Amino acid sequence: MSLAEPIALLDETASWRDLAIRSVTSSIIDAPTLRRHKLSNTEISCQNFVLVRVMLENGVEGYGEASTLGGPRWAEESVESIKSVIDAYLAPALVGRPASCFEDNAIRLSKAASRNNAAKAAIEAATFDAVGKSLGLPATALLGGSVRTSFSVIWALASGDADQEIVEAKAKLERAEHRRFKIKMGFADPRMDIERLRKIRSALGADVEIIVDVNQAWSEATAIRWLPALEELDVSLIEQPLPAAQMEQLARIAARTPIPVMVDEAVFTTADIARAGSFGAGSVISLKLVKSGGLLELKRAAAVASAFGMELYGGCLLESGIGAAAHLAVFSTLPKMEWGTEHFGPKILVNDLVLSGPTYRNFEVHLPEGPGLGLILDEDRIKHLTRTGA
């Protein structure tokens, strides 16, 4: 093939003019969950998303998604603020621009609005989806190419009812969906949390991996008091036991226990990651688009964390199949992904928002196949769940 042939092919299938962004639109989706999901500062029984659609001049439409947990509690964004900033500030910054200029578009979004990471990430995911579809390539090819197509997948037990959680976990094991479980803690007295954890460990057995997520709910003193109990229960990983701002204290906790400590809410920017790495605040990092603000920036976050010797964990914010597919596309291109991912969000919804997307089998989540993010949306269900008047 001559050097001219790829250029000719591009001219025929998707010229740069065809890849210009015609429109960026957003809508709010309210999707019920199968059971309540508790964190230290809130609980939900309905998950909220902002669905972003990027339409190119060639008529190809790409999809992205921004997810929150019960409003502006986990971070400062809510679905209402996300939609507002997209419609008023971010969309106008990109309309008419080539969708394939990913880095330049990210710069434009940063100039249009500070932070607003979930909103920016949703738009960038939609542009990768649209460009990939236009070129007949998976989004992973635009991100450097995949090195894996599936991941060991973790399920969160977060109802706060040990008996219900044991039944739930055993069903996951029997269906070969999950054998690694993250227990949400911090919304009860630590003694009650440990008793609940002990009951779950006894019921599931020693072969099941257990991770705990305290969601910033403990003080340093409380963590010191209960670390031995977590060690006794053979916990594999402790996620963000202290408030995000207490980096030095978190480093002292990490130094006290043989259990790896994972940083999550403490690290949004690459500068945050470098600071955590310098302090030794954690040996594992939770990667999330809602923190990094885009697919390319998520790859940079992983690279900085790896440079400090931190292992990588694919975090989630209960995304549907749309948001999960964007995360998995990035994760699949990382040289290492030591802890797999917890992208179980599509399975906790009463019904997912896609007809075709990530699949779950043999204790793993598998990337969708096809161009872009490989998604087929369930438009009827999305229409039914779209918030009117938003």
Residues tagged active-site: 184, 342
Q: Is the dihedral of CA 154, 157, 163, 168 positive or negative?
A: negative
DSSP H helix total and E strand total for the chain:
16, 15
User: Can you read off the two tokens belonging to residue 84?
Assistant: 């507002």
The CA distance from 296 to 389, in Å, is: 33
What is the full DSSP assignment across 214-255? -TT---HHHHHHHHHHHHHTT--EEE--S-TT-HHHHHHHHH
User: Can you read off the two tokens belonging to residue 207?
Assistant: 């072969």
User: Can you read off the two tokens belonging to residue 179?
Assistant: 């054998």
Residue 335 exposed, middle or buried by CB count within 10 Å (0-12, 13-18, 19+): exposed
User: Can you read off the two tokens belonging to residue 145?
Assistant: 């190419």
Q: How far is CA 86 from CA 56, 62, 178, in A?
A: 17, 15, 36
Q: Is the dihedral of CA 59, 65, 71, 75 positive or negative?
A: negative
- Strand boundaries in the chain, DSSP class E: 21-38, 43-56, 61-68, 150-152, 155-157, 180-184, 209-213, 237-239, 261-263, 284-287, 311-314, 354-356, 359-361, 364-366, 376-377
CB atoms within 10 A of CB 7: 10
| CB 291, CB 260: distance < 8 Å | no
The CA distance from 120 to 272, in Å, is: 19
User: Can you read off the two tokens belonging to residue 241?
Assistant: 């036991």
The CA distance from 190 to 167, in Å, is: 23
What is the full DSSP assignment across 308-325? TT-EEEE--SS--HHHHH
